[in-house]
Amino acid sequence: MNKSYDLIGLGYCGVDYLCLTPCIPVDDKIEALATLTQGGGPAATATYASARLGAKTAFIGAIGDDERGRSIVAGLRDGNVDTSGMKIRAGAESPAAFCWTEKTTGHRSIVWTRGDVKSLSPEEVNTTMIKSAKLLHLDGHQMAAALHAAQISRTNDVTVVIDAGTMVPGIEKLLALADIIIASEKFAERFTGESNPEVSIKKLFANNCRFAAVTMGVEGSIGFDGKTIFKQPSFKVKVVDTTGAGDVFHGAFAYRYLNGGDWPACLRFAAAVAALKCTEFGGRSGIPTLAETERFLQEHEVR
């Protein structure tokens, strides 16, 4: 089948209300250094990042017909993401996240809400759209729809990638349908019961995938293809805000994979894009172009 999309994301999308502060207050008041409102969400931001790098993308999700919902759609469209597969619920409150970022360290605290938007049903997933993709990126949200889309993908030559970041009911079924699993260190430990990433990654790989990876923040990431463990350190940059770094990592990994990168190349490319994102305030503001990323990688080439 002729593939119309490089990547389709399906999952959580919301509005991020961001606040940059000297420190994160507890039972106290403090003046903000800067504020920002923009789109967010694991699968949505990963899709946005892939589009920013040059991929042809679409996003499937559910939002309300409120101001937040309109902002979510506008933000994706501004990033050249096709939103024709999204469902808009009348009278519903769209998801949102409230994020505090500490300027001196880049550390953050996030409180989020899914709103009251009814989840996507399998019947609402555009089957033709899924079949026309090269890669389906899922984040564990919209579970019924995600499982349906993953099953369609497995029989239509669509690579299924899972951002495993949240322990949600049904996640084990979704992991069993994945070609590529990229998990946060916390998720990997909770899901496998192993605190050592080099042990947990092998248990994640046992879910019948082709490649598993674990992201570890400033400690970088590791990957496993069934034979070899690949290690990728994080790039050292002046961190302003780590919000969205993991989501951007996923989008960049998918982009490099779709363009013929081997596993180490995918990890290195994703680490570079995520690092560059962290140099600016906001989950999407600092996402680099392909040219900027390639220049950064050349400057940091191992000699």
Query: Is 2's pLDDT higher than 80?
Result: no
C-alpha R_g of the chain: 18
**What is the rounded average pLDDT for all residues in the chain?**
95
Task: Tell me, yes or no, if the pTM score tops 0.85.
Answer: yes
Do the Cβ atoms of 13 and 72 come closer than 8 Å? yes
Task: Quickly state the pLDDT bin for 106 (edges 50, 70, 90).
Answer: confident
pLDDT-wise least confident of 105-109, 136-140, 296-300: 105-109
What is the DSSP code (8-state) at residue 25?
-
| Domains of the chain with bracketed CATH | 5-14+40-94+117-299 (3.40.1190.20)
Task: Quickly state the pLDDT bin for 192 (edges 50, 70, 90).
Answer: very high
Q: How far apart are CA 39 and CA 46, in angstroms?
A: 11
Predicted pLDDT of residue 302? 63
Task: Quickly state the pLDDT bin for 108 (edges 50, 70, 90).
Answer: confident
Q: How far apart are CA 221 and CA 239, in angstroms?
A: 18
Predicted pLDDT of residue 207? 74
The model's pLDDT over 113-131, given as tens digits with 9 standing for 90+, comes to 989 999 999 999 999 999 9
